[in-house]
Amino acid sequence: MMHDTEKLKWLQLYRSENVGPAVFFHLIKKYGSVTEALLALESITLKGGRQLKLCSPKKAEEEWKNLQEFGGRFITLHCPAYPTALKAINNPPPIISVLGNTELLQSDKHVAIVGSRKVSLAGTKLTKEFAHKLGQARYITVSGLARGVDSCVHEASLKTGTIAILGCGLNVCYPEENQELYNAIKENGLLISELPFNTAPSAHNFPMRNRLIAGICKGTLVVEAALKSGSLITAEYANEMGRYVMAIPGSPLDVRSRGGNHLIKEGAHLVETPEDALDILDERVIKYILHEDTYESYEPPKVFATVEQVHEAKQNILGLLSHTPVMVEELIHTSNLPPYIFHEALVELELTGRIVRSFGDKVSLCG
């Protein structure tokens, strides 16, 4: 069991500038502990000579205190309460904040139901029917507390168990009109956020939220969605994670059906009834394979890249990148760099703000 002192240091590292999940775990693995990783960050200089901004111990303690006073708590990757399915994704969030019934995380039957904010009357009826019947079958529903489909999901499964993943701080209700629903989930379900306390909603944060929705669940069901929508991003995440992707078909004349129809054409399971979804979800138990780099005990690597090797590798990588995101796996192959040198260089580029990671484990140049 991780002590609160260690959790605070995890929070401090994760709230430091340019430290995402991939950088977080690389630093701890490289330096052997979160304490040493924080010390190493003090010497990082960004482009233009500016020093990297570390989250101070005082700021981490303040967020910790605010969350506790609000009734929530932090769960790190090593806590027993951390959901197994989420541990198994590539670069899971090292620490999340939760509020409500954390026992809902211990189920192995989570299903995401997502869809349009401007849901149709028929879509509303279908969403509530699916959420209710899946809940009766002991599935915990997961969605994003948005208008439309998300709200219908939570409302219909409050009694059977529902989890809302937020694209803002845990204490922020978005949209504001869902405050009553937010309060009901706080009392009867569970609220989760990866973002700092008090963080306002931002479009930039919603793909991160969608990644968590897909990551916690065995499968994702899309009710209604446009071709370019957050729901399709959630479905793509689920597909990449090896989870079930399901969609309800609709009229090609309705733009809200085009996303689901597209998913079906791309291989998603077509479902018309809750029984269809249950047949798919109950088909087999998914064995979640935990990533050694993020879950096992941390030991510094036996082989270190030299300063010269990392510098040369960074130039190599930058020469291959543009502002169009490319897969990290493809970049490794094209660069012909040994993995331990490649990842060391990539982390330095991310830390110093030269590159940015995006949806689908892709990277591109910043700015």
For the chain, domains (ranges, CATH) are: 1-70 (no CATH), 99-281 (3.40.50.450), 303-365 (1.10.10.10)
Q: How confident is the model at residue 70 (pLDDT cuts 50, 70, 90)?
A: very high
- The pLDDT of residue 295 is above 80: no
Q: What is the pLDDT of residue 51?
A: 80
Residue 270: pLDDT above 70? Answer: yes
Whether 38 contacts 11, CB under 8 Å: no
121 CB-contact burial (10 Å; exposed 0-12 / middle 13-18 / buried 19+)? exposed
Nearest-angstrom CA–CA distance, 225 and 241: 20
| pLDDT value for 60 | 97
The backbone torsions φ and ψ at residue 325, rounded to the nearest 5 degrees and listed phi first, read -60, 140
Cβ atoms of residues 259 and 226 within 8 Å: yes
pLDDT per residue as tens digits for the range 178-224: 999 999 999 999 999 999 999 999 998 999 999 999 999 999 999 99
pLDDT at residue 299, as a whole number: 59
What pLDDT score does 304 carry? 73
Task: State the average pLDDT over residues 227-241.
Answer: 94
User: What is the residue type of 233?
Assistant: I
CB 95 within 8 A of CB 24: no
pTM of full prediction above 0.75: yes
pLDDT band per the 50, 70, 90 thresholds, residue 285? confident
* pLDDT bucket at 47, cuts 50 / 70 / 90: low
| pLDDT tens, position by position, 72-129 | 999 999 899 999 999 999 889 999 999 999 999 999 999 999 999 999 999 999 999 9
CA separation, residue 3 to residues 76, 82, 195, 196, 284 (Å): 10, 15, 21, 20, 36
Q: What is the DSSP string of 171-228?
A: T--SSGGGHHHHHHHHHHSEEEESSPTTPPP-GGGHHHHHHHHHHH-SEEEE-S--SS
What whole-number percentage of the chain has pLDDT above 90? 78
pLDDT at 296: 56
- Is pLDDT above 80 for 59? yes
Q: Which amino acid is at 153?
A: V
